[in-house]
Structure 1
Amino acid sequence: MISASKDIILRQEAYAFSHEAVTRHGLTIDEAFIRGIRHIGYRSNLHAIAELIDNSIQAYAQRIDLVFGYSDDGSAKKPNRIAIIDDGHGMPAAMMRLAMMWGGTHREDDREGLGRYGYGLPCAAVSIARCFRILSKLDRAPIFEVCLDLDDLELGSYRAANGLISLPDAQPAELPDFVSQHIQQHYPQGWRSGTIVVLEKLDRVEWTTALGMRTNLLRHLGVTYHKISDLAALYVDGTRVRPVDPLFLTPSADYFGLDDDRAVPLEPVTLSITNPASGRDGLVTLRYSWLPPTFGALDKTRDAVGLNANQRFPILKDYHGIIFSRNGRLIDVQNRLPWTVFINNDRYIRVEIEFSATLDELFGVTTSKQQVSVTAMVWDALRQAGIHKAIEQLRGKVKQAKSFRFEAVSRAPVPKPLAAVVQKRCLTEQAPKAAAPLHSLLVMDGVGGLAANQAHPLFNGSAGAMACAHALQKLVNMLANQASSTGTRAKDEYGDLLTAWCIAAWPDQPDV
């Protein structure tokens, strides 16, 4: 890896100094282009941040951290800065300003890694923030920095005397305080080399709290990089990202052993396709699995709806359709095929198409690596490989499993209604004993609202400490599962509610 890193740095230096790149080339664009490029069409902040992580992986980073920075007033509810830190090989100073430009990459048309266009870093950064800076250092070298601030751009700060917009050269710099603190805590050997992208003036962040941001990033990145998670240790706000296989076939991935339900695989199929644009062959691998109809449920006797949805359910919902992976990195999910459409019942069939980047033209990969537009040539090859038959086979498996489940439920003894039991007892007993009343958790508060019923055993102390602890854990787990199966805003509201409850319950413990 060391020799590979040295080779890349030499290539970066050669690229930077070729054709007088350092002194002659500016952004070669105007302010209107920058404003427009912010709307390039990332589906979410999650997809944009993944672009920045791609760069770190290709720099041979062993560790990648997403770190949140907060305002000086002490509020830790919502970050006002985000840093992506890696310990890769870093960049020479001459390359740094080029890396901030659209198309500035020494990896142009590279088909071996994750990127090839040179658009990812600037596009992803400005889609989230109005200001971003790159700090980078080579091994045993000082830290350099270059910055692009859209507010300064509109004021003309980057326009040279000749009328062209040009980024300044990289300058020696110090790490931001929140980045320096994180490195001191998590890099015991120090930050020897690597690159840091700092996003500031966050005007297009989709989450209202740090909790919502952390939760969504952990899940999305876990799925996106589940096949290549061994390349680098990825952390979000100090929490390790765990791989999540959306086909639930990887025993080491999260949710594989959540309960006794297991995904059932079909035999994978691999085929070779020739790209007529380059004459190069690329491999395509089809993976299949089907899931028991109870796979997304907590209580296996009921459907995975509302509070009964388990932690797998958001994966079933968000990755519903054909999953496309390029060089081991998930890039798209589509539920419409030329011959069929995936409906809600198809959540329990899982199909993945993994393809080599040598076939990018045939799969219509976009510059942002978040969408494919599959050509007719590829669909024909996939049909010849039997994908349409496999999908129908998976549907048949799920339908059969659902019918077995229905028959099992139908054969189960139906308990008699409580009223019938009470009536029978009244007829056969002269003086039946009255049953102990079942207290409701909530009562009317006298002004038209609801309040906790102080007579309930959980609230009056009669239930005991262990029973109360178990009931509390069950309630929090149910709320967490419900939050995971709802939209981003609802997740944040659940998080805010639980945070406020913790503060009210334990006011003397600020870290709860």
Structure 2
Amino acid sequence: MTTTARKVRNDECSIIALDRFIQATRDSGYKGTASAISELVDNSIQAGANRIGISINAKAGEDDSKVIEVSVVDNGSGMDPFTLRQALRFGGSTRFGDRSGLGRYGMGLPNASLSQARRVTVFTWQSARGQKIGIAGSRRASNSAPPQVYMSYLDVDEIVRCEMVEVPRPSIVRKLPGACASPSGTIVQWTQCDRLDARRISTIVRKLESELGRRFRHFLWNGLRLTINGDAITPIDPLFVHSEAQISGAQLFGDEMRYEVRADPADASKTGWVRVRFSELPVHQWHKLSNEDKRRIGVSKGAGVSIVRGGREVDYGWFFMGSKHRENYDDWWRCEIQFDPVLDEAFGVTHTKQQVRPQSHLLEALTPDLEATARALSARARKAHLAVKTAERFSAAERIANERDHLLRRLPKNAEQRATALMKELIKQHPALRQALGEGRSRYTIIEATVKDTSFFTYAHDGERLVLVLNPDHPFNREIYKPLADVDSPHDQQLRAKLELLLLAAARAEAMATGKSGALSRHRLEWSDTLAAFLNDK
């Protein structure tokens, strides 16, 4: 066999067909621009950066059209020439398999960059004290000289044309990029960006603000400054509990749950901790938001579990819910699961850190408690919405009664003992009644609550406020009131309000008759029993 034949045969049998590999790699791995840029942010954080700036700008192309270029600059430790060259290799990490940081496999920088752009250029520099080895390995004696900036790159077109078969040796940059302001750091530049999520810079920025604000929220709360085109990214808390998040107001539900889980179900010697928190969104305060606002702040269609590895969110979805199907009420609670990196295999974390695939032993450990909590929170949300709907049903009648109250004789200051006792009991069950009149509350309130006798309504009175209590167990509710309450047409709403005013008037008249409450309450009970007899089918 000739030398030429052997060479052709060897080229055809190489482990990687480089030109095809690079094109296939661009089509796999990353969900979008935000996921790819997240990889660069990971690298910066792992390099010790506390300032990371993302720039997205349009520049004039060869045909005078505008092309978008992306750069990420940090003030991390920077890299020496050897590390820079390794960082641009697929799988070339100097920290391969290291679980102490955010990356493990050395695929992030090249894979993420070329998934979005045809060329990635990296500039990096270290402080004079940390920069000891030059291109050829010679040691630099001076620690006072300005840091040298090294540059290398990858280019898809050169790889496809087989002009680039290895990462170019880093070269010293004579003209420093303007962003090289910190004593050490790295700049990653994407040019010839042909696979960004959008063509408009404003659209890309908006998506990045949302995605990065959520994924890196814990780092942002701990002092990381992350900017896009100079504007700081605000952390987004999917649980809505952190006071420094864009939107807050939810409350933690129960105590944090902790689980010690095996990394390998067959090996008891290596375990890690999983920490779970649930939060409950404020239905009473947020239910009146428009559908657009609910989508904007992440309430609508936002149900799910945030999976956080080492402080960085790696996935968000419907995990560990067992047989529970997602429903609308699930929009009103959230869950966050944080786990130790030693459990990467148990969670099935992918190298792109975009999703998890929980293994069976982890599902068995977490699912029973998480599913039960989710069902309880869903039931609480359902109950809260019912209470809100009930309160809204009464608001028109309460408002009218309050507006017309000045036309009537004042209610007696000394209420009947039965009425005041019932008021104290109702306040325990209905926190909204605890607010005083001076806080904008109506003098009249209508609620539904089971009463101790067979009356279809009763009342509570404390000398200032009058509460009409409708008995949901009386046939009046089933046959007359509930059919009106469940219909939303304007005519039925007006009819319902007038019926509520009629009952408020009856309750107020009874409260005005001090000293005669016994006879009037017996009369109301007789009236209720007669009405029940007339309305019952049997």
TM-score per shorter chain, which class? 0.5 to 0.7
Determine the structure 1 residue equivalent to 2:290: 304
Query: Partner of 2:117: helix, strand, or coil?
Result: coil
Q: Which of 77, 82, 89 in structure 1 is aligned with 2:77?
A: 89
Partner residue in 2 for 1:284: 274
Q: Which of 142, 146, 156 matches 2:148? A: 142
In the TM superposition, residue 407 of structure 1 has moved relative to its aligned partner by 0.3
Task: Return the letter of the residue paired with 1:324.
Answer: I
> Conserved in 2, the CA contact under 8 Å of 1:226 and 1:244?
yes
Q: How far 1:310 sits from its partner (Å)? A: 6.8
Q: Verify: 1:324 aligned to 2:307, yes or no.
A: yes
Aligned counterpart, 2:337: 353
The Cα of 1:38 is off from its aligned counterpart by 0.7
User: What corresponds to 1:3 in structure 2?
Assistant: none
Deviation at 1:72, TM superposition (A): 3.8
Aligned mates of 1:33, 1:129 — CA distance in 2: 16
Aligned-partner SS, 1:84: strand
Match in the other structure for 2:261: 273
Partner Cα separation in structure 1 for residue 311 and residue 387 of structure 2 = 36
Q: Give the aligned partner of residue 382 of structure 1.
A: 366
Q: 1:295 to 1:332 in 2, by over 3 A?
A: farther
Match of 2:186 in 1: 195
Report the RMSD for the aligned CA atoms in angstroms.
2.8
1:98 match? 86
Structure-2 separation of matches of 1:89 and 1:151 = 31
Counterpart of 2:358 in structure 1: which amino acid? Answer: V
Amino acid at match of 1:283: W
- 1:247 deviation in Å? 0.1
Matched with 2:171 is 171
Counterpart of 1:70? 58
Distance 2:83 2:175 in 1: 19
1:334 positional shift:
1.9
State whether residues 215 and 312 of structure 2, in contact with CA within 8 Å, keep that contact through their aligned partners in structure 1: yes
The alpha-carbon distance between structure 1 residues 77 and 88, as it changes in their structure 2 partners (threshold 3 A), is: farther
Q: Percent identity?
A: 28
- State the match for 1:157 in structure 2: 163
Q: Deviations over 1:232-270 (max 9, x none)?
A: 2111110111111110111122211xxxx5445332111
Displacement after TM superposition at 1:69 (Å): 3.1
Which amino acid in structure 2 is aligned with residue 396 of structure 1? A
SS of equivalent residue, structure 2 residue 39: helix
Question: 2:194 & 2:286 partners in 1: Cα distance?
Answer: 36
Rounded to whole Å, the distance in 1 between the matches of 2:300 and 2:272 is 30
Which residue of structure 2 aligns with residue 250 of structure 1?
Answer: 242
Q: What amino acid is the match of 1:213?
A: I
CA 1:207–1:318 in 2, change beyond 3 Å: closer, same or farther?
farther
2:132 paired residue number: none
Question: Over alpha carbons, which structure has the higher Rg?
Answer: 2
1:227 aligned to which of 209, 218, 221:
218
> TM-score, normalization: structure 1?
0.66
Displacement, 1:70? 2.4
C-alpha contact 1:287 1:353 (8 A) present in aligned 2: yes
Give the AA of the match of 2:127: D
Following TM superposition, by how much is the alpha carbon of 1:339 offset from its aligned partner in structure 2, in angstroms? 2.0
Q: Which amino acid aligns with 1:305?
A: N
Q: Structure 1 CA distance, aligned partners of 2:380 and 2:66?
A: 45
Structure 2 Cα separation of the partners of residues 394 and 76 of structure 1: 57
Secondary structure at the residue paired with 1:365? Answer: coil
Moved more, 272-281 or 360-369: 272-281
Q: Which of 354, 376, 380 in structure 2 is aligned with 1:393?
A: 376
2:324, 2:375 within 8 Å by CA — same for their partners in 1? no
In the other structure, the counterpart of 1:213 is: 204
Give the secondary-structure state (helix, strand or coil) at the position aligned to 1:235.
Answer: strand
- 2:32 paired residue among 44, 55, 60: 44
Could you tell me which amino acid in structure 2 is paired with residue 345 of structure 1?
Y
Structure 1 match to 2:99: 111
Amino acid at match of 1:210: I
CA–CA distance in structure 2, aligned partners of residues 255 and 69 of structure 1: 29
Compare the two structures and name the one with the higher strand fraction.
Answer: 2
Cα pair 1:77 1:210 within 8 Å, conserved = no
**Alpha-carbon distance between aligned partners in 1 of 2:300 and 2:174, rounded to the nearest angstrom:** 44
Once the two structures are TM-superposed, the CA of residue 296 in structure 1 deviates from its matched residue by 5.3
Cα separation, 2, equivalents of 1:290 and 1:175: 55
The answer to whether the Cα contact below 8 Å between 2:295 and 2:301 also exists between their aligned partners in 1 is: no
Corresponding position of 2:394: 411
Give the aligned partner of residue 422 of structure 1: none
Per-residue deviation at 1:169?
Answer: 0.3
Aligned letter for 2:187?
Answer: I
Q: How many pairs align?
A: 364
Q: How does 1:335-350 map to 2 (within 5 A)?
A: 335=318, 337-350=321-334
